[in-house]
Structure 1
Amino acid sequence: MNDRPRGDGEPAEGTPEYHWLYGGGADTPPAPTPQSGSPREPRPDETRMMPAMARPTNEPARAGTPPTPPPVAPTPGQGSTPPPSAPRRRGFRFYLRIVLALLLLWVAYLVVVPIYAWTHVTKVEWEPKGDRPDDQPGTTYLMVGSDSRAGLTKEQRKEYATGNPSSQLSDTIMILHTGSGPNLLMSIPRDSLVDVPGYGTTKINAAYSHGGAKLLVKTIEQNTGIRIDDYVEIGLGGVAGVVDAVGGIEICPTQRMKDPLAGLNVKKGCQQADGRTALAYSRSRHTSAVGDIDRVKHQREVVAAVGDGVLSPWTFINPVRYWRLTNAIPDFFAFGEGMGPVRAGMWALAMTNVGLSCVVPISDLAVHWDPKRSKQMFDYIKEDKTDDIPKGLCTPTGLPKSVTG
């Protein structure tokens, strides 16, 4: 129907007509057949279409549609309100700091008070010159209870029934050994007959009277072979002062004791004793047939009771008691040269943890040391083998077990 002549470049009849916008014609390659799942790459001359974004809707999600994530909570500190527990935690930390500060102050008090008291302690020269036993395992302390009235007022001498103010004898002599085995506290009766260097055979307490601490240490070392490592001296009023500082102690006499010379009058059985009574109890020697032997047993009993009082938790909780006890030490105790507060503390702890308590083995009430049994005892101490000491060797009176029952 259209008989107009075709110009150059026009397609022949029957051939699809090429359109400048939509393409087509014989020279145009056929468009690839779209395959399922793979989008067709648009031609350069096609208009590209951007995918449309779905509008938010409140309708329920269809199957296969991912759920809408929940809203994210704001980060604390960016305008959000802190949780209710935050102020409570801050208050707890505040009170915790206060408690810690108080604890530190209390620990400082417990440390500073003994250091202050130590500056007032009297030191004693006690190490003798000349030959001495070699160093031995463990630590051995010599504890001497002097009956010196120095420091006591006229009223105190009357109260304690001490008598002569010029007396200067070793009223109590004890060896305390601590090491690998149980701690041993061994009394040496002051009437023990031994060889005192330069004075022949005489009572051991005469050594203190003639030459003080040095001669007493030398006498003990030469007669026992035991090396003394540290020296502690207790004045007559020391017992009373310390007992009162700990609030009294318990004593358990096995009989009624009435001794006017010592100022003692107590009933049989366990009872509370103040400083004056405890001192009289440890000094009395006229209420028993064994005299001085029974007295040293009471002295060890008082020492152990004082140790229990010193280590009582109430001592460290009550600041007044702690102050009184600590500051009673310089008034009544003297320590050997070379002994510092740390070693003094070690002595105090050892004294309060005595596993074996006895008298040096003796053969009679004269008082002569038993040659065989006393040597055995001294060897156990020198070798630091207190856990091997037989029961029959360590007795309350120093006499054999068969004699003491």
Structure 2
Amino acid sequence: MITPIAMLFYYDGKLHRVDALSAYAGRIGDTPGTNWLIVGTDSRDGLTSEQKKNLATGDADGARTDTIMMAHLPPSGKPMLISIPRDMYVPIPGMGSHKINAAFNNGGPNLLVQTVEEFTGVHIDHYAEIGFGGFDSLVDSVGGVEMCLDQPLHDPKAGLNLEAGCQTLNGTQALGLVRTRAFPNADLERVVNQRKFLAALMSKATSPGVLLNPFRLFPFVSGAVDAVTVDNGDHIWNLAWLAYKISGDPVTTTAPADGDEYTDDGDSLIPGDTTKQFFDYVARGQEVPANLLTSGAGAVS
């Protein structure tokens, strides 16, 4: 007889892992609470040509960061989902100052983690990465996710064609929603939709309708194992705890910048005193004041 404990270790052994949290000289020590770096990439690994066509992903090789998000679970108070815009112009070890997504594109998870830690002063305890491959199946495994849209969304580049109003999104539609940049503020609005969708997906995944239904639970766990890459020291129970913590009503915000500027990398967001104040609160495990929170508009209610 296969016990729940045996199943837990079976799925844990199937997780994809990467060396994301290696030590480096001068690495910041532990900071209060638990902090995840969650990275969404445009990796097409595992997708067939037909799936790439159906999901409108294109055929680019490799992986670049579409999403950089910090999940901060403080010692007390509400968890936070913090989007770090990929256009944030920051020092990258060994590279000089560039948009933050260049860290992953040039040095993978390890360099991105180091860049985020040195930029924010926040110690990263866990790492999770998800690409295009498997995302749609993960959403479909829980029966889709209900989202309420304030506006219709039509973006051929993302394969997206949604009307305004509340509706249950399947995997293909959900992937289009978190990818689309067809907004006046492009990436700054997209990250709002990404945070809200992640919280909604975790809420659905931890609901009784999934947890008590083996025909939903096992496909979801199997899909998560296939779709997610974690650090070498992370386990499936760490992912489960993260899902539980952010499934309620987390504080969602975008890391503030003090303006924008045209740099050698193009239009960039420039961090300043407001950015430092924001991450100082996070690094101390203290509640971030409301005046430093920036939710943005987005398309999701």
TM-score of the pair, normalised by structure 1: 0.68
Matches within 5 A, 1:325-404: 325-364=220-259, 366-386=267-287, 389-397=288-296
- Tell me, yes or no, if the aligned pair for 2:11 and 2:236 is still in contact at 8 Å: no
Partner Cα distance (1:165, 1:151) in 2: 13
Determine whether 1:122 maps to 2:21: no
The residue type equivalent to 2:295 in the other structure is: P
1:13 is aligned to: none
- Tell me, yes or no, if the aligned pair for 1:251 and 1:302 is still in contact at 8 Å: yes
For the residue of structure 1 that corresponds to 2:292, the secondary structure is coil
Root-mean-square deviation (CA), in Å?
Answer: 1.8
- Tell me, yes or no, if the aligned pair for 1:140 and 1:176 is still in contact at 8 Å: yes
For the residue of structure 1 that corresponds to 2:224, the secondary structure is helix
Q: Which has the higher strand share?
A: 2
The residue type equivalent to 2:124 in the other structure is: I
Equivalent of residue 141 in structure 2, options 228, 239, 245: 245
Shift of 1:110: 4.6
- Tell me, yes or no, if the aligned pair for 1:234 and 1:332 is still in contact at 8 Å: yes
Partner Cα distance (1:367, 1:268) in 2: 31
Percent identity over the alignment? 37
Partner Cα distance (2:134, 2:116) in 1: 23
Partner Cα distance (2:281, 2:39) in 1: 22
Partner Cα distance (1:238, 1:110) in 2: 24
Shift of 1:363: 2.7
For the residue of structure 1 that corresponds to 2:277, the secondary structure is helix
The structure showing larger relative contact order (alpha-carbon pairs under 8 Å, at least 6 residues apart) is 2
1:153 is aligned to: 48
1:213 is aligned to: 109
Determine whether 1:192 maps to 2:91: no
- Tell me, yes or no, if the aligned pair for 2:32 and 2:285 is still in contact at 8 Å: yes
TM-score of the pair, normalised by structure 2: 0.91
Equivalent of residue 256 in structure 1, options 135, 152, 170: 152
- Tell me, yes or no, if the aligned pair for 1:360 and 1:369 is still in contact at 8 Å: no
Structure 1 stretch displaced more, 110-119 or 174-183: 110-119
2:195 is aligned to: 300
Partner Cα distance (1:222, 1:370) in 2: 13
Shift of 1:109: 5.4
Count how many residue pairs are aligned between Structure 1 and Structure 2.
289
Partner Cα distance (1:276, 1:296) in 2: 18
2:35 is aligned to: 140
Shift of 1:123: 0.8
Partner Cα distance (1:313, 1:170) in 2: 33
Runs (4+) of structure 1 exceeding 3 A deviation are 108-114, 364-367
Equivalent of residue 164 in structure 2, options 257, 263, 268: 268
Partner Cα distance (1:390, 1:367) in 2: 25
Rg (Cα) greater in structure = 1
